[in-house]
Amino acid sequence: MRFVPITCEQRETMLRAVGVRSVEDLFDVIPPEVRLTRALDLPSGMGEIELAAHLQECADENDTSLVSFLGGGCYDHYVPAIVDAVVSKPAFFTAYTPYQPEVSQGTLQAIYEHQSMVCALTGMDVANASMYDGATAFVEAALMAARVTKRNRIVVSAAVHPEWRDVLDTYAESGMVEVVTCPSRDGVTDLSALAGLVEGAAAVLVASPSFLGCVEDVSAIAELVHAAGGLLVVAANPVLLGVMEAPGVLGADIVVGEGQPLGNAMSFGGPGFGFFASCDRFIRQMPGRIVGRTLDVDGRTGFVLTMQTREQHIRREKATSNICSNQALNALAASVYLAAVGSEGLAGIGRACIAKAHHLRAALIATGVFTAANDAAFANEFALRYDGDVAAMQDALLERGFLAGLDLGRFGGEYAGLVLFAVTEKRTRAQMDRFVEEVASL
């Protein structure tokens, strides 16, 4: 209690008001059998020099020299130095929600630029000021589709990341939507099965590339969905949108995704941010915030929060979402990244990832250690089948300096024996060739 900024007299006044004599009396409601009656088993305190040395020892236990082929939603892309230089500026790093536009023009403009970049990448009309992460953006798209169509059945492809589908199922427990899973085949959505599920559906949710890295036929899916009066939600990898056709051009009504690949470090899995874009006719049903550009009374350009249909601002039953914070700092990092690499640079990065992934897949199959899981078109990730003990294989390669992909068996029996490999622009030909040599020697 010594760090609580109140005086002793104020504390005594509050204790008398609630009818107890001491702070310890407040804990009497805790049953004795679950109360800790001994001192905490903690080491003694350290001086600053000793603590700094201890933290350095802990940091030195991390191995940062490993060559990573991990993916599955979080990717080892290069982050240009300018990204951290900009987002570390106090005006951005400590900024909160820009409720007062007259003192928040820098933050508002940065968000506006982010929205514009997301629209350009996705081929959509409007984008919001980011979401918590890709999975919650995915779910918010399903809920938005239900509001727009006034239907409550959501069809999600089994080719979508299992963890994203788990988040959708969690939201669905509220009873707001009914979730139906469409089977997948060869790493992508089974179109014949989908044809029997779209009637009466509010939306169909797919990911392209899929969980196994395969590219969906978005145009064909869009035709099926729109013929049944539903909306198409596509989850996309933003780096690959620099070289792949924008989902909006292919018929998507809502495009979402995880923005971590855009200038955000892996950081042990987070934080990242979710991007969310849609057609302009659905703008009033979009979750989160939208920044708009306007003119002030003197004719100067200004930026304001034009849409924020959240329960903080309107009656709860009229709110589109209960998301109260955004990931604006992470979104700013993405904007700086996109501005730094430019459209040609982003396309080059995407092409490098795809070309290197195709090279590595062919080389790994040629070793005879792995076999193809499917023959579908893929981008920067691919799944291969390993007939032995996946964990033992990965441990052996870890000792040789490699993170040998993601063991998909952790996501269910249907993925047993499958390993997902991701390749980014950071992987060199020498690293990949050495990795293949180590795999061949297993």
- 378 conformational bin, left if phi > 0, alpha if psi -120 to 50, beta if neither: beta
CA 160, 382, 217, 342 torsion-angle sign: positive
Tell me: do 134 and 251 sit in the same domain: yes
Q: What is the mean pLDDT of the segment spanning 337-346?
A: 97
d(CA 94, CA 116): 23
Whether the predicted pLDDT of 348 surpasses 70:
yes
Q: Which CATH number belongs to the domain containing residue 238 in this structure?
A: 3.40.640.10
CB of 53 closer than 8 Å to CB of 419: no
Residue 64 pLDDT grade (very low, low, confident, very high; cuts 50, 70, 90): confident
Q: Are strands 203-207 and 231-235 parallel, antiparallel or unpaired?
A: parallel
Q: Which CATH number belongs to the domain containing residue 424 in this structure?
A: 3.90.1150.10
Residue 85 lies in a domain: yes
Q: What is the mean pLDDT of the segment spanning 205-228?
A: 98
Tokens 């979710």: give the residue: 274
Q: Name the token pair of 326.
A: 């955004």
Q: Which residues fall within 8 angstroms of residue 238, CB to CB, at 6 or more apart?
A: 121, 257, 259, 261, 262, 275, 334
Helix (H, G, I), strand (E, B) or coil at 127: strand
Q: Please give the residue that has the higher pLDDT: either 433 or 63.
A: 433
CA 128, 130, 134, 135 torsion-angle sign: negative
Q: What is the pLDDT of residue 326?
A: 66
d(CA 31, CA 241): 57
Identity of the amino acid at 163: E
Residue 44 lies in a domain: no
The per-residue pLDDT for range 22-60, each reduced to its tens digit, is 988 998 889 989 988 888 999 888 999 999 999 999 999
Residue 12 lies in a domain: no
- Specify the length of the chain in residues: 442
Residue 4 lies in a domain: no
Tell me: do 146 and 255 sit in the same domain: yes
Whether the predicted pLDDT of 62 surpasses 90:
no
> Which range marks the domain in which residue 435 is found?
67-77+342-440
Buried b (16+ CB within 10 A) or exposed e, 220-244: ebbebbeebebbbbbbbbbbbbbbb
Tell me: do 242 and 196 sit in the same domain: yes
Q: Is the peptide bond between 271 and the residue preceding it cis, with omega within 30 degrees of 0? A: yes
Residue 63 pLDDT grade (very low, low, confident, very high; cuts 50, 70, 90): confident
Q: Name the token pair of 241.
A: 């949108």
Residue 232 lies in a domain: yes
Instruction: Please provide the DSSP assignment of 350-408 as one string.
Output: HHHHHHHHHHHHHHHHHTTSEEES----BSSEEEEEESS-HHHHHHHHHHTTEE--EEG
d(CA 165, CA 176): 16
> What pTM, to 2 d.p., does this model score?
0.88
Q: What is the mean pLDDT of the segment spanning 353-373?
A: 98
Q: How many domains does the chain have?
A: 2
Q: What is the pLDDT of residue 129?
A: 86
Q: What is the mean pLDDT of the segment spanning 91-118?
A: 88
Q: What is the pLDDT of residue 94?
A: 81
CB of 403 closer than 8 Å to CB of 383: no
Residue 77 pLDDT grade (very low, low, confident, very high; cuts 50, 70, 90): very high
Q: What is the pLDDT of residue 1?
A: 41
User: Roughly how many angstroms between the first and final C-alpha of the chain, as a whole number?
Assistant: 58
Q: What is the pLDDT of residue 397?
A: 97
The per-residue pLDDT for range 227-253, each reduced to its tens digit, is 999 999 999 999 999 999 999 999 999
Helix (H, G, I), strand (E, B) or coil at 293: strand
Tell me: do 288 and 434 sit in the same domain: no
Tell me: do 91 and 180 sit in the same domain: yes
d(CA 305, CA 312): 14
Tell me: do 126 and 158 sit in the same domain: yes
- Residue 310: DSSP 8-state: B
Q: What is the mean pLDDT of the segment spanning 262-272?
A: 91
Helix (H, G, I), strand (E, B) or coil at 277: strand
